[in-house]
Amino acid sequence: MQAETEALFSRKSIRRALKNWRKVRALGQHPLARLQITARRRREAGYADAPGGRGVALQDLLRTGIDSLRPDSGDPNPLAKSWRAYLSLNEQYVHGRSPAYAAALLGVARRTYYDEQTAALDRLGDWLRRQEQRAAASLFRESGAMSGARRIPFMAPPPPPHPLVGRATLLKDLKQQLLNSNASPRLALCGLPGVGKSSLANALANDPAVRDRFEDGVLWAGLGWQPDVLALLGVWGQALGLSADELAKQKSVAGRAQMIHNFIGLRRMLLVIDDAWQAEAALAFILGGPNCAHLITTRQPEVALPVAGNGVVNIDELDLPAGIALLTRLAPQAMQAEPPAAEALVQMVGGLPLGLTLLGKYLLHESHSGQPRRLRAALNRLQQVEARLRLSQPQPPLTAQPSLTAETPLSLQTAIGISDAVLDPSARRVWYALSLFPPKPNTFSEAAALATAQPSGESPLSPAVLDRLVDAGLLEASGPGRYTLHQTIADYARAKLQNSSARRAACLQMAAFYTRFVDASAGDNAAIDPEINNALAALEAVHRQGQNTALAQLAIALYPYLESRGLYAVAKTYARRAWQAAGEMNDAAARITANRQWGNALLFLGDPKKAEAALQKGLALAREFGDEKQIAMHLLSLGAVSLHRGDYAQAEARWQESLTLAYQLEDNDLITDILINLGSLY
């Protein structure tokens, strides 16, 4: 009997079965088709109890066994030794390639190929033997309506059609944490809406090694933000085989949870709690015993931490190469036809997998006809934030977002909108205001955030409101006292802030904060450096809103920093805008200062003719209003123009006139600057 069993799992027996891969009736007559595990697979899939049905069931089983030889869930690497076992069987038998082709693919000699395949057949035989032994040893006493055959629930959605792009290393690490822990592990995948938390959980649940470890099945509950915990526990109970009558007697969450926990006992199961919004609801499904693992997905750190503790894993968006790879897989024609435009889209959605998937499917649809005009029009449409946010796709019933109705198409707008809907009004208002800041990788200070979002006439905002946004997964902490917003999260909030009184108020407050900050940090460029992108964003915001006073004040305050950092083109743009804004509000002092700064920037950019004209205009205005300091400063700048042209006599005359006024004003700093310039002539 022992010899007969060994022969059944021998490489000769398995090779004979694999040779009949495409002849399912012949495969159904192989001795392996009579195994308990084959019969169980046939019953679970509903295949006929006939040679054809048994053959298809054995084919499924062998495919799972071959998949167990994969070293990880990433794309196969034929040149890596760790992939030889899997590829030697998969290519020759599953895909019908010749041994010569398969050997060439692996980059090995034919003899080496056969050696690798022999070892792979032995490993496949060992896997089948273990599966059959476990099936025979795991018959357990039933509870309620359970009787006879063992029931193994598998509630995870179907596996993705392709390996997840850019997630191979992450999946390997997560799998190791699930499989290598001596205790009952709890992992919480935490990240932005659309970052792929549920997809990662599904890939893990369908991984052959994970299924092998948790051989008693997978329980999956999609909670959403308004879960019916009692009903979902009932679904788990029925999946386990508990009778409806027994479940109905347990009318409380605690009673039903205890019943399920007792039933699971020492079984090896993976319990997945998807899309959790409240820690209390998630904890109601932590029901496994010492041989189980729990996997939670949530957007909110405030949910992940109390449920998983040190098991929280933050899921980042895809980097640029991975984002390009995903978009290339989804829309290859678009990427080939318009690579720069398509790559720019990856950055526009900040590498968010949901955004890339929606973009890819849309571009696939628009490029399938092969008409360049249609593709270019689609790419142009996607430059608009609103168009990207509203791209949608129907939700398959088995993978539908738990927080949305099955009929609601999935889009970035609806996915982020769920988080928006559950925020309190104060936090929502602050989030919208923070969208004025440039997105990730840019960061901004806590002080700037609170000042920008401060409601007019109300008590000062508490930093706790930022904590609530961090806990909601919408705002990311980026070092002590600094924060950042993801591109797509910012796009959504900015669209909500558009054309509102709240936007105008936030723009004014942001510009006022940075005007005070730059004035207080004058001469300390290192202090201004981390905030320069934010200060420029504030300038752009008040410019778009036509808020002239705020624009002029901030632009004038920021000019010395821009000049000292060599950002002359930027300095010129905003000095010119400040000059125009000051003119529209009849602020002569601001106009004179902005005019001088504009002239200086023109000179630094190598245009002395325009610089002379601008500075002469400012000098005339300063003389008209009797502003002696501005007269002296304009003469100082005009002397530099003369020096640039090589007219040293005129440069000296202008600086001497400027020096006389500086002495009258007793302005030591100005005197020093003029004397330094005069010294350059001798």
**For 591-601, what is each residue's pLDDT tens digit?**
999 999 999 99
**For 148-166, what is each residue's pLDDT tens digit?**
445 789 999 888 778 899 9
How high is the pLDDT of residue 484? 95
Taking alpha carbons only, the member of 380, 340, 377, 382 closest to residue 360 is: 382
**For 47-69, what is each residue's pLDDT tens digit?**
888 888 888 889 989 999 999 99
Please name each of the domains of the chain with its CATH number.
Answer: 2-137 (no CATH), 168-314 (3.40.50.300), 320-393 (no CATH), 423-498 (1.10.10.10)
How high is the pLDDT of residue 147? 40
What 3-state DSSP class applies to 222?
strand
Whether 654 shows a pLDDT value over 50: the answer reads yes
**Concatenated DSSP letters of 646-658:** T-HHHHHHHHHHH
How high is the pLDDT of residue 339? 84
Q: What is the mean pLDDT of the chain?
A: 89
Whether 383 shows a pLDDT value over 90: the answer reads no
Is the C-alpha dihedral spanning 453, 458, 460, 465 positive or negative? negative
Average pLDDT over residues 385-404: 81
Strands 410-411 and 312-314: unpaired
How high is the pLDDT of residue 426? 93
**Positions of E strands within 475-629:** 476-477, 482-484
How high is the pLDDT of residue 245? 84
**What is the distance in angstroms between the CA of the first residue and the CA of the last residue of the chain?**
110
Is the C-alpha dihedral spanning 626, 632, 633, 637 positive or negative? positive
Q: Would the pTM of this model clear 0.75, i.e. be above it?
A: no
Whether 534 shows a pLDDT value over 60: the answer reads yes
Q: What SS3 string covers 151-195?
A: CCCECCCCCCCCCCCCCHHHHHHHHHHHHCCCCCCEEEEECCCCC
